[in-house]
Amino acid sequence: MQHPDVAPAPRKLTAARGRSSRLNISRLLLRTTAVLVFGFILIPVVFVVWISFFSNQIISFPAQGYTLRWYANIWLQRAFADGFRLSLQVAVLSMFGGLLVGVPAALGLVRYRFPGREALNTLLLSPLVVPGIVAGIALFVFLVRIGELLGVRLTATIPGLALAHILLTIPWTVRLIAASLIGMDRSVEEAAMNLGANPWVTFYRVTLPMIRAGIVAAAIFSFITSFTNLEFSLLLVGPGRTTLPIAVLQYLEFNLDPTIAAVATVQITITAVAMLITDRLVGLGQVVRR
């Protein structure tokens, strides 16, 4: 005769198998969804890279053959070479300018409480939500007015374009460095100050090394954002000058060959390599997940 407090073993085994089956189905659905999402994101990239090797004079399917001449054609087009150099200069200037503004701003927002703190935080992040063309027009009008009042020409100049791009880099810098500051252990700073280090020495010798991952992540994201920007550059670039995105747009007006796919592939490769190197060196993934 079976004891009344003991459940039959087959019933327990069936329940355990049911839970395991539901867990396996959930995992399968999650993995399938992840594969579909990543596939949806990556398929256009794969097609762009594939098209860049077509030998067709006009982009069409199927490919008549494969060649590397479109990559050589990039540097034969002076607009692409000049645009790459100008985009590189502006991206580097705006990256460092964004760091000079964003690091102190993130430090103040995270470490201090003061009236208007939330409003300032919203203001610094606002370039992410304002449409690019609207912000570009507003910046153009603003720079014209500043030039009239101060007698300094800022429109159609590299410094003026870099100042505009700094507005794009500040949100990334503030967000990523603030995440690093929130996640760091402040007891290390307190220990340094207890041992006699003043606030500046503590910041330079302790705080900066501890948020290095956030600074590098902010720098790489800021560089990419500036390098690929079209709206601000289209409205603020000077006559006779062109950035790489503008050169691509102008080339597409009269040409339909795979050169544009080759340019896009080069940009994708540069961005991917920079992201991978950054992740290996400073653990970029940990910063982005915070």
Closest CA to 83 of 245, 244, 215: 244
Mind listing the pLDDT tens digit for each residue in 131-160? 878 888 888 888 888 877 877 777 778 888
Helix or strand (DSSP H, E) at 97: helix 78-111
The percentage of the chain sitting over the pLDDT mark of 70, rounded to a whole number, equals 89
| Residues whose CB falls within 8 Å of the CB of residue 182, separated by 6 or more in sequence, listed in order | 110, 290
Q: What are the C-alpha distances in Å from 216 to residues 87, 189, 233, 278?
A: 20, 21, 24, 7
Q: Is the pLDDT of residue 67 over 80?
A: yes
Give the residue with greater pLDDT, 60 vs 168.
Answer: 168
Residue 288 tokens, joined: 């982005």
Which of 214, 229, 228, 226 is CA-nearest to residue 288?
A: 214
Asked if pLDDT for residue 101 goes beyond 70, the answer is yes
Tell me what percent of the residues of the chain surpass a pLDDT of 90.
1
In the structure encoding, which two tokens stand for residue 181, read together?
């500051």
φ, ψ (nearest 5 deg) of residue 238: -80, 165
Q: Is a pLDDT exceeding 70 seen at residue 218?
A: yes
Dist. CA 250–CA 256, nearest whole Å: 11
**Mean pLDDT for the stretch of residues 209-222:** 84
Tens of pLDDT, residues 68-90: 888 888 888 888 888 888 888 88
Q: What sign results for the dihedral spanned by CA atoms 191, 193, 195, 200?
A: positive
Q: Say what the pLDDT of residue 140 is.
A: 83
Block residue for tokens 């645009």 = 83
Residue range 239-267, pLDDT digits in tens: 777 888 888 888 888 877 888 888 888 88
Tell me what the mean pLDDT of segment 200-223 comes to: 83
> What pTM does this model have?
0.76
- Residue 3 predicted with pLDDT over 80: no
- Say if residues 220 and 237 touch (Cβ distance below 8 Å): no
| Lowest-confidence region among 28-32, 102-106, 189-193, 281-285 | 281-285
Average pLDDT, the chain: 80
Confidence at residue 10, expressed as pLDDT on a 0 to 100 scale: 62
Mean pLDDT of 163-174: 87
**Which positions ≥6 away from 38 have C-beta within 8 Å?**
none
Residue 6 burial (C-beta neighbours within 10 Å; 0-12, 13-18, 19+): exposed
Predicted pLDDT at 50: 86
Residue 147 CB neighbour total at 10 angstroms: 16
Lowest mean per-residue pLDDT among 16-30, 76-90, 102-116, 169-183: 16-30
| Rounded Cα gap, residues 277 and 109, in angstroms | 29
pLDDT at residue 20, rounded to an integer? 63
Domains (range + CATH), the chain:
76-289 (1.10.3720.10)
Q: Report whether pLDDT(106) > 80.
A: yes
Whether the predicted pLDDT of 1 surpasses 50: no
